Structure 1
Amino acid sequence: MNNYTIGIDLGGTNIKAGLFNENFMAVDELSMPTEAAAGPAHVLGRIRLAVTQLTEGSGIDQQQIACMGMGIPGLLDPEEGLSIFSPNFPGWEQIHIVNEMKPFYDYPVFIDNDVRVNLYGEWQQGAGKGCRNLVLLTLGTGLGSGIVHDGKVLYGTTFSAGEIGHMNMYRHGRPCRCGSSGCLGRYVSAVGMVNTFKEKLLEGKSSLIQTWTNQDDGQITAKMISEAYDLGDRLAIEVMHETGELLGFGLANVINLLNPELIIIGGGMAAAGDRLLGSVRDTVKAHALKLSGGKCRIVQAELGSSAGTLGAAVYANQRLNPEVVQRS
């Protein structure tokens, strides 16, 4: 019986791999350094090594595995199995991941964007269970997002639907690698929040964080801002509220456009919890259309660090059995 599914979460720093049973309970999980600087062929070899260690460590052979799903950062064509470009991986362009994996495995391999596999996981196994209209945001180094609309995951013409992080919030704001400026993700992300904090220090404001870093602003992290917030640091509170307010304006636009019943906030920055989400909810309440805003809940993700691997497994099963969930 093909009772198991493998989920891979490819990150710039680490490769996470998980082996799941038919109920998506984790049988085994592991993490290993990606070693992205060594190039695409090396990274693909590292993924295969992770799969080998996972299956051999669990005593599972290929005949027991139904499929494998992989969450890959960047632009890709999931139908073709092609990773077009991934910004944090040197030399990573036009990598046909599915074809590269075929000679090694008897079971089918599927790829999708790393944020969308998180979406599949939270939708089917996490905070979004039972919802037909939801949006997932991942707040980490940047801001990623995925959308379920009327029970279907939105992909778009170039499989790029849901780039909420590139919503323009300031006509002449911070430059973005996308070529535009003032994008939401340049402010509402770990990097964005730290940059806001540094800008305010340059304006002459002060914070107890400066004593933690010996005045070295390069050491400031989003986690420090959360910790200083809890200690009543005025600048940390100001920056956290400002970041939450800006996210709230962005989500008010999302709510008015898509009318979701649920918005899930995931990623490392979600650990800020109500420090951030309090301002988000207040801003949405004040600025979203009353009917749609009143019907939309904003919650934290439930799956935590296993979201990527579990979501990739869920996604692969749904690609293998497309009658389970429609895609659009």
Structure 2
Amino acid sequence: MTDNNYIIGIDLGGTNIKAGLFHEDFTAAWELSIPTEAAQGPAHVLERIRLAVSQLCVGSGVELRQIACMGMGIPGLLDPEEGLSVFSPNFPGWEQVHVVNEMKPYYDFAVYIDNDVRVNLYGEWQQGAGKGCRNLVLLTLGTGLGSGIVHDGKVLYGTTFSAGEIGHMNMYRQGRPCRCGSSGCLGRYVSAVGMVNTFKEKLQEGRTSLIQTWTKHDHEQITAKMISEAYDLGDPLAIEVMHETGELLGFGLANVINLLNPELIIIGGGMAAAGDRLLNTVRNTVNAHALKLPGSHCRIVQAELGSRAGTLGAAVYAYQKQKHPLR
């Protein structure tokens, strides 16, 4: 790549498309976000992605011929080698969408796709909290629990590009039903939605919380952020739920540590904002239950890149694919 080459990173979300144009050193030249409009179908969403690329070029003054490659993070099941998005649950009609082929008529540069969580992993590994690590795990705690794994300096993909589904680790033989078809999955409890559901269950049992005054007893208004705020105000139920969530996540991560022996576990996504309110309990549980040697050599930290992890990570991923196409 020459100095005048740029890299585009796209983070495709159900609500917004985030796009970033980056220099070769991954400093940002231009960043933006536009509504996805997912309900209008796959062809419209792909057109919205191309609009975002056009707006990046207009905003930055960079021409298409100066772009070396583009990486895209897409939710759901996909085949990154084929450039095919198989299924994405929050996008109506989105099945067997060959994203790379859909982009080829418009761009001379290479386009690469990967799962949205894995591009977050590339971002944190190369430009964020995981710099310099060869063995790490990233968890994104939001609506669900996503995860990605770097083992001996390589991102794990697996036979069907599905490696790292830590969120579907069974924690209860007969627990909350999961969209995967099983029940008791870790992600049903330690995601933002999972923690809120735990809180609601306790309210339905007759427990009380100052959050009820904030929402006028409308339980559907409760958010994970409210639980963190109530925690800071000493609300007993918020403290209990935060600790229960952290403990269960700690048991899950003890299993991960015993299995993979990482040096670092990064917690990202919306729930990462809970910070040490959540992570202190996680760390204490890991210290008590992980095998001593691997447990003592693994740090658990917050992600550093925040909402930029997806676009930056997609750019890092594309750059690496461009440099090492056989990896």
Band of TM-score, shorter chain: over 0.9
Which amino acid in structure 2 is aligned with residue 250 of structure 1?
G
Percent identity for Structure 1 against Structure 2: 85
Q: Give structure 2 stretches of 5+ with no counterpart.
A: none
Query: 4+ residue runs of structure 1 moved beyond 3 angstroms?
Result: none
Which amino acid in structure 1 is aligned with residue 25 of structure 2?
N
Counterpart CA distance in 2 for 1:278 and 1:204 is 28
Aligned to 2:230: 228
Q: CA deviation at 1:194?
A: 0.4
Counterpart CA distance in 1 for 2:255 and 2:63 is 48
Q: CA deviation at 1:63?
A: 1.5
Give the structure-1-normalised TM-score. Answer: 0.98
Counterpart CA distance in 2 for 1:271 and 1:31 is 21
Which amino acid in structure 2 is aligned with residue 8 of structure 1?
I
Q: CA deviation at 1:62?
A: 1.5
Counterpart CA distance in 2 for 1:268 and 1:29 is 20
Residue by residue over 1:38-89, the C-alpha shift from the partner in whole angstroms, topping out at 9 and shown as x without a partner, is 1000000000000000011111111211100000000000000000000000
Query: Would you say 1:63 and 2:65 are equivalent positions?
Result: yes
Q: CA deviation at 1:307?
A: 0.4
1:277-316 aligned at under 5 Å gives the runs: 277-316=279-318
Aligned to 1:274: 276
Residue by residue over 1:214-251, the C-alpha shift from the partner in whole angstroms, topping out at 9 and shown as x without a partner, is 00001000000000000000000000000000000000
Which amino acid in structure 2 is aligned with residue 238 of structure 1?
E
1:150-229 aligned at under 5 Å gives the runs: 150-229=152-231
Q: CA deviation at 1:11?
A: 0.3
Give the structure-2-normalised TM-score. Answer: 0.98
Which amino acid in structure 2 is aligned with residue 37 of structure 1?
A
1:236-255 aligned at under 5 Å gives the runs: 236-255=238-257
Counterpart CA distance in 1 for 2:196 and 2:138 is 23
Counterpart CA distance in 2 for 1:256 and 1:165 is 16
Query: Would you say 1:80 and 2:62 are equivalent positions?
Result: no
Counterpart CA distance in 2 for 1:55 and 1:313 is 15
Counterpart CA distance in 2 for 1:253 and 1:99 is 40
Q: CA deviation at 1:142?
A: 0.5
- Give the counterpart of 1:20 among 15, 19, 22: 22
Q: CA deviation at 1:100?
A: 0.2
Counterpart CA distance in 1 for 2:288 and 2:96 is 45
Secondary structure of the 1:244 match is: helix
Residue by residue over 1:260-315, the C-alpha shift from the partner in whole angstroms, topping out at 9 and shown as x without a partner, is 00000001110000000010000000000000000000000111110000000000
Q: CA deviation at 1:3?
A: 1.7
Aligned to 1:130: 132
Q: Give structure 1 stretches of 5+ with no counterpart.
A: none
Q: CA deviation at 1:27?
A: 0.7
Residue by residue over 1:158-177, the C-alpha shift from the partner in whole angstroms, topping out at 9 and shown as x without a partner, is 00000000000000000000
Counterpart CA distance in 1 for 2:321 and 2:257 is 28
Aligned to 1:146: 148
Counterpart CA distance in 1 for 2:82 and 2:9 is 19
Counterpart CA distance in 2 for 1:295 and 1:233 is 34
Q: CA deviation at 1:322?
A: 1.2
Secondary structure of the 1:264 match is: strand
Counterpart CA distance in 2 for 1:240 and 1:212 is 18
Counterpart CA distance in 1 for 2:175 and 2:265 is 26
Counterpart CA distance in 2 for 1:252 and 1:152 is 22
Counterpart CA distance in 2 for 1:300 and 1:79 is 30
